[in-house]
Structure 1
């Protein structure tokens, strides 16, 4: 979906692809090294700042509804893990 000329993720994989695509080299290295603090505490902000001018946590809540029974924090974790796999695959 497009909002304010920016793509809004509709799935966890799409969110992870967008997050990975927007990462700096430093962020990629941190993620691959297991330093995920920035991503755990700021994923809603990352989504908001990088993709849309809206509340990032709302997007996590929308994704949570798509994946019934998963807590919002788990959605963040799934996005981070998927982004890590994408980043790792792009460095091979």
Structure 2
């Protein structure tokens, strides 16, 4: 039996549907690890990450919101990326 593929008008075999669903759940798991890692950051690092990557504010706008310099925003983003990279690598090992 064939099931329509959500992204196109092509049909995929029903047997491949289970593989596709497993792949989708793995992506969701990866994002949950990321969100957990972001939430574990100290507030001074977490806020710039959320404002920059999720809310799409510029460095200049974040500096105004948090009442800090643009350099401080860039430094906090760099430190947060380093901590996130380290934590996510530990989780994947």
Is the structural similarity TM-score above 0.5?
Answer: no
**Greater per-residue helix proportion:** 2
TM range (shorter): 0.3 to 0.5
With structure 2 as the length reference, what TM-score do the two structures score? 0.34
With structure 1 as the length reference, what TM-score do the two structures score? 0.34
